[in-house]
Structure 1
Amino acid sequence: MNTFKLFLAGASALALSTSVNATDLEVTHWWTSGGEAAAVAEFAKAFDATGNKWVDGAIAGGGGTARPVMISRITGGDPMAATQFNHGRQAEELVEAGLMLDLTELAEKEGWKDIVNPPSLLDSCTLDGKIYCVPVNIHSPQWLWLSHAAFEKAGVPVPGNWDEYVAAAPKLREAGIQPLALGQQPWQSNLLFGAVQIGVGGLDLWKQINLEKDVAAASGPEMAKVFQAMADARNMADGSNVQDWNQATNMVITGTAGGQIMGDWAQGEFQVANQVAGEDYTCLPGLGVNEYLSTGGDAFYFPKLKDPEKAAAQLELASMMISKEAQVAFNLKKGSLPIRGDINLSAANDCMKKGLEILATGNLLPSGDQVFSADTQTQFNDLMVEFMNDKSITPEDAQERYAAIVEAAD
């Protein structure tokens, strides 16, 4: 800890001078697509500039594949130095077991409560008044990404909202274009559902179910409209035979698919492909209907290590991740919004600017990871992927099963 205090006294949050005791830190995460790799490289470059060494521990396959590996290593006595989780309750049991480093002293010294916006992000890192993670971005899943080339080929205008998109689907099919690109990982189907729920169902319904756990609302007529919209999405996604989300994004980039419902991290893929927002593709937050964004995203936790030099370097890494310089460099590449509002984002593209405007208006919601346990989220995932892949399941049947999950949710 003395080493770390010396560091704080003599360096900025993004220290460019060599650390007193430089050390290697293994950092695990699931950022492996082109845009994600470009973003995480910014963190690695900034940490290496402190004199320490970022040892990359990327795990392919997304969070659903990576998290069990991460958790197994931590609980099995082979912890990494830092690991990605989403904001919310994914690491709750690890914290309760005393396996994660307490960052409260650092957070108080650097005034994290004054700079993290919205405050719910830091709240998600807090348990029993102590802070255990550093938020690094705001990711929202309620975005519809549309290919200009695909709609031009189909001879129809680029849609401005969900209803126009559904209406254009037959023309896309006639032109040999996949209407909706959707990967086969369960979380992608559940993400699509969450976006349709807020886009079609609206804010009040979302709050009733996700915050109040209102089973009557989950079983009611407004929610029935959401499941009918999911049936439309199922028909539009029929024939999308890719696995990973970025493969689906590439279908939009190449014009072989009309659109994709995916989080704002898709922006990183468009940037790597040198596509321009507003010219090559359109982004519609809230499906162009209800412009609310969930304020989930990514945070890093730091498993407790016995080596005091590594423990000091862990704090340097946390400090770097929340610094102004790193927040700008990382989020411009990632396509996500920064967790602090006191930085210069003049280089933001049109889609990021839309997100920043929504953030400024306060039209924000917590993410599913912040309101439901990991077990409940898994049940939603399983239901949605089953529904999207089995047309014998009616919207009414799916809604009944959904309401039962909400009733039993913890």
Structure 2
Amino acid sequence: MNFRSVAAAFAASVVMPFTAVQAAELEVTHWWTSGGEAAAVAELAKAFDATGNKWVDGAIAGSGGTARPIMISRITGGDPMGATQFNHGRQAEELVQAGLMRDLTAVAEKERWREVVKPQSLLDSCTIDGKIYCAPVNIHSWQWLWLSNGAFEKAGVAVPTNWDEFVTAAPALEKAGIVPLAVGGQPWQAAGAFDVLMVAIAGKDTFYKVFKDKDADVAAGAEIAKVFKVADDARRMSKGTNVQDWNQATNMVISGKAGGQIMGDWAQGEFALAGQTAGKDYTCLPGLGVNEIISTGGDAFYFPVLKDEEKSKAQDVLAATLLAPATQVAFNLKKGSLPVRGDVDLAAANDCMKKGLDILARGNVIEGTDQLLSADSQKQKEDLFSEFFANPSITAEQAQKRFADIIASAD
């Protein structure tokens, strides 16, 4: 996509001062539309409105894969919003390079983001040519298996403590009319589940060799073959899910219609909204109970270049507000994610959040694939695993060969 000509059209008329702020309305686009997500977004809006400005909610139904093209089209087409959500990583890279996104370095320096944002990789993902272009708001880790305690009680088996026990329990769940593993139809869900399996089964070093070093030989090798074998088990266990959205799959676990779900920690927001308690109603296994490592991906807000001077000033206020300690606590407690600040009090965190915080404190972390792969390479991976989970005629060996080809050409 060519953004350069669009950028040139903006250049002459844009003013981006960093001075005193007057009240302004800012449209903020995002894809947080499930019940738990909406409750978390309301905390961000409340904090920004308290500054005298106005958050105009621009929620786009569907996943990030649905929302991002709409957001990008608006920005490149001359109809930018005040701020927009992307994931940490390279999703907005071309927009930044085209000059369509605000440089937030002055805000970051004033608010001491380099000192308080942990881990450093979060700001590194916002940094291009030494300048900071986004405000990270949370740490979302993919590496979780969520289990319905009630489903296992109904099936007459103990709640698993790791992936192998979960696979062993699958026949009892099926006999009780329960889908063992809920996997929704959105492509990113299947791809994310495979990434989680890779870290749990093959380990951190292999994960980085594949996604960071783009080593196609490793992707085609014996260690990844083991992962595909486990992914084949997951595919078999997910037969009968018959839902599309991730939160619908989560609701299957909440209602006991499914035994478990591999999903990021944002699933906690849905359990909380349903009034369920970690350790009592549901169980969470970081790293599938096999390898307690979490990814430090998540969400960040970018601020398109605007022609309106007052709105540009308000963008600075919003960026600072998103990382303010009180905002970080209120938002992340409802989102189920971890704060990006290392200096906030999360005494109210539930058992699962405390597990995540402990893993983070021990430094058992990896970067997310959004940080390691371009958006195009991610899309190819998503398409492969969406097809693999939906079509049992594709063998694990065939899927691995296609996966190795994707890694060989990945950027």
**Same fold, judged at TM 0.5 (above):** yes
What is the Cα-based RMSD across aligned positions, in Å? Answer: 1.0
Tell me which residue corresponds to 1:204.
Answer: 205
Tell me which residue corresponds to 1:17.
Answer: none
Deviation at 1:199, TM superposition (A): 1.0
Question: Does 2:19 match 1:5?
Answer: yes
Counterpart Cα distance in 1 of 2:301 and 2:60: 15
Tell me which residue corresponds to 1:153.
Answer: 154
**SS of structure 2 residue aligned to 1:5:** coil
Counterpart Cα distance in 2 of 1:81 and 1:100: 10
Deviation at 1:4, TM superposition (A): 4.8
Question: Does 2:404 match 1:390?
Answer: no
Tell me which residue corresponds to 1:316.
Answer: 317
Counterpart Cα distance in 1 of 2:289 and 2:19: 48
Tell me which residue corresponds to 1:335.
Answer: 336
Deviation at 1:142, TM superposition (A): 1.0
Counterpart Cα distance in 1 of 2:202 and 2:315: 43
Aligned length: 397
Tell me which residue corresponds to 2:10.
Answer: none
Q: Which amino acid aligns with 1:284?
A: L
Counterpart Cα distance in 2 of 1:74 and 1:141: 29
Tell me which residue corresponds to 2:194.
Answer: 193
Tell me which residue corresponds to 1:139.
Answer: 140
Q: Which amino acid aligns with 1:5?
A: T
Deviation at 1:407, TM superposition (A): 0.6
Question: Contact 1:89–1:374 at 8 Å: present in 2 too?
Answer: yes
Q: 1:78 to 1:351 in 2, by over 3 A?
A: same
Counterpart Cα distance in 1 of 2:217 and 2:55: 50
Question: Contact 1:139–1:265 at 8 Å: present in 2 too?
Answer: yes
**SS of structure 2 residue aligned to 1:209:** helix
CA displacement 1:178-223 (0-9 Å, x = unmatched): 1011110000000111111111111121121112111111111111
CA displacement 1:228-273 (0-9 Å, x = unmatched): 0000000000010001000000000000100000000000000000
Question: Contact 2:25–2:55 at 8 Å: present in 1 too?
Answer: yes
Tell me which residue corresponds to 2:93.
Answer: 92
Question: Contact 2:219–2:407 at 8 Å: present in 1 too?
Answer: yes
Identity of aligned residues (%): 68
Counterpart Cα distance in 2 of 1:121 and 1:77: 29
Runs of 4+ deviating beyond 4 Å? 1-4
Tell me which residue corresponds to 2:42.
Answer: 41
Gaps of 5+ in 2: 1-14
Counterpart Cα distance in 2 of 1:2 and 1:164: 56
Residues 42-121 of structure 1 mapped to structure 2, 5 A cutoff: 42-121=43-122
CA displacement 1:148-178 (0-9 Å, x = unmatched): 0000000000000000001100000000001
Tell me which residue corresponds to 1:9.
Answer: none
Q: Which amino acid aligns with 1:304?
A: V
Counterpart Cα distance in 1 of 2:53 and 2:219: 50
Counterpart Cα distance in 2 of 1:372 and 1:183: 23
Tell me which residue corresponds to 1:13.
Answer: none
Tell me which residue corresponds to 1:258.
Answer: 259
Counterpart Cα distance in 2 of 1:77 and 1:31: 24
CA displacement 1:34-68 (0-9 Å, x = unmatched): 00000000000011111110000000001000000
Question: Contact 2:162–2:290 at 8 Å: present in 1 too?
Answer: yes
Deviation at 1:3, TM superposition (A): 8.0
Tell me which residue corresponds to 1:240.
Answer: 241
**SS of structure 1 residue aligned to 2:285:** strand
**SS of structure 1 residue aligned to 2:19:** helix
Gaps of 5+ in 1: 7-19
Q: Which amino acid aligns with 2:29?
A: T
Counterpart Cα distance in 1 of 2:85 and 2:205: 32
Residues 222-241 of structure 1 mapped to structure 2, 5 A cutoff: 222-241=223-242
Q: 1:134 to 1:2 in 2, by over 3 A?
A: closer
Deviation at 1:111, TM superposition (A): 1.0
Question: Contact 1:179–1:237 at 8 Å: present in 2 too?
Answer: yes
Tell me which residue corresponds to 1:126.
Answer: 127
Tell me which residue corresponds to 1:375.
Answer: 376
Counterpart Cα distance in 2 of 1:387 and 1:106: 44
Tell me which residue corresponds to 1:295.
Answer: 296
Deviation at 1:5, TM superposition (A): 3.4
Counterpart Cα distance in 2 of 1:62 and 1:389: 19
